């Protein structure tokens, strides 16, 4: 049975500006996992208390800083931040850190950028080794949301994971971004599910709740589960109204 994680950067936002309180609201809505993006701009003490008080688990956070991992000269800065992100993840009980590739660099051969990104993941594995925290690189779409982003291909992301070949490194598979790029989840993930650490969903167009758009999310999630994916599915969508209404629409769409 699919286990959902509420992205509290997007869910429960209409209900409260108190970030830590969204954890309690998520618990009240039936979630046992939440996730969020940056940690450096949050009250970590309040978040830690809310997680402890509710018993909610933190599914993942973003590895800071955002960096141009397609550029080798930015790697040291990212790796220094990754050490801090790892320590925050351990403090809050998050097993996954999520990172982005950075931009497609003008005037640099794509093969060289691919090599730089692969190297960054290999070096990241060394930082995380033995900690129990894993890093999940995330392909994103450059057609709607992230113009100029480098890693738009799930296939390329899986190839990077295979080349690094370390248990600390995998992918966040965002079904919304993937299908906006014209990918079929069943095709691009075939044989690669061992590298998928985390999943995100939203509908298209609009990046709103499942049921608001046209993506066959129910079918594709059922396929993922049938293939053995047992990790959380992060609800990273913008509710079109209240969070409760959005979750009710999602329930009606996904069952």
Q: Is 200 exposed, middle or buried (0-12, 13-18, 19+ CB in 10 A)?
A: buried
Question: Up-side HSE of residue 55: CA atoms within 13 Å toward CB?
Answer: 4
Angstrom distance (rounded) from CA 237 to CA 31: 15
Taking residues 192-202, what's their average pLDDT? Answer: 98
Are residues 238 and 10 in contact, defined by beta-carbon separation less than 8 angstroms? yes
For the domain made up of 3-254, the CATH class stated in words is alpha beta
Tell me the average pLDDT of the chain: 98
Taking residues 56-83, what's their average pLDDT? Answer: 98
Angstrom distance (rounded) from CA 30 to CA 178: 28
Sequence spans of domains, the chain = 3-254
- Tens-digit pLDDT profile for residues 128-138: 999 999 999 99
Angstrom distance (rounded) from CA 82 to CA 99: 10
Query: Quick one: pLDDT band at residue 101, thresholds 50, 70, 90?
Result: very high
Q: Angle 132-136-141 (CA atoms, 0-180°, nearest 5)?
A: 170
**80 in helix, strand or coil?**
helix
| Residue 156 confidence (pLDDT) | 98
Tell me the pTM.
0.97
pLDDT at 118 over 90: yes
Q: Is 106 exposed, middle or buried (0-12, 13-18, 19+ CB in 10 A)?
A: exposed
pLDDT at 127 over 80: yes
Q: Which ranges of the chain would DSSP assign to H, the alpha helix?
A: 21-28, 44-54, 75-92, 110-128, 154-164, 175-180, 185-188, 217-226, 243-254
Query: Quick one: pLDDT band at residue 250, thresholds 50, 70, 90?
Result: very high
Residue 107, token pair as written in the block? 């005037």
| Residue 191 confidence (pLDDT) | 94
Please report the DSSP string for 118-139 in residue order: HHHHHHHHHHHTTTS-EEEE--
Strand partners, 173: 199
Query: Quick one: pLDDT band at residue 1, thresholds 50, 70, 90?
Result: confident
Query: Quick one: pLDDT band at residue 146, thresholds 50, 70, 90?
Result: very high
| Residue 255 confidence (pLDDT) | 85
């Amino acid at each position: 049975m699919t286990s959902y994680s509420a992205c509290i950067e997007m869910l429960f936002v209409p209900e409260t500006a108190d970030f830590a309180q969204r954890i309690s609201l998520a618990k009240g809505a039936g979630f046992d996992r939440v996730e969020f993006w940056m940690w450096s701009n949050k009250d970590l003490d309040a978040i830690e208390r809310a997680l402890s008080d509710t018993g909610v688990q933190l599914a993942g956070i973003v590895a800071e800083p955002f960096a141009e991992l397609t550029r080798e000269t930015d790697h040291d800065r990212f790796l220094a931040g990754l050490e801090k992100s790892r320590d925050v993840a351990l403090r809050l009980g998050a097993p996954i850190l999520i990172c982005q590739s950075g931009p497609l660099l003008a005037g640099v051969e794509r093969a060289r950028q691919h090599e730089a990104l692969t190297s960054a993941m290999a070096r990241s594995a060394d930082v995380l080794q033995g900690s129990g925290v894993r890093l999940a690189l995330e392909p994103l779409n450059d057609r709607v949301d992230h113009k100029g982003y480098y890693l738009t291909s799930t296939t390329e992301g899986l190839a990077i994971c295979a080349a690094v070949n370390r248990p600390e490194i995998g992918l966040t598979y965002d079904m919304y971004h993937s299908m906006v790029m014209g990918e079929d989840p069943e095709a691009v993930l075939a044989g690669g599910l061992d590298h998928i650490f985390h999943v995100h969903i939203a509908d298209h167009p609009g990046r709103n709740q499942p049921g608001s758009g046209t993506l066959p999310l129910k079918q594709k999630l059922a396929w993922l589960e049938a293939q053995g994916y047992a990790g959380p599915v992060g609800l990273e969508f913008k509710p079109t109204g209240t969070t409760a209404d959005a979750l009710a629409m999602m329930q009606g769409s996904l069952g």
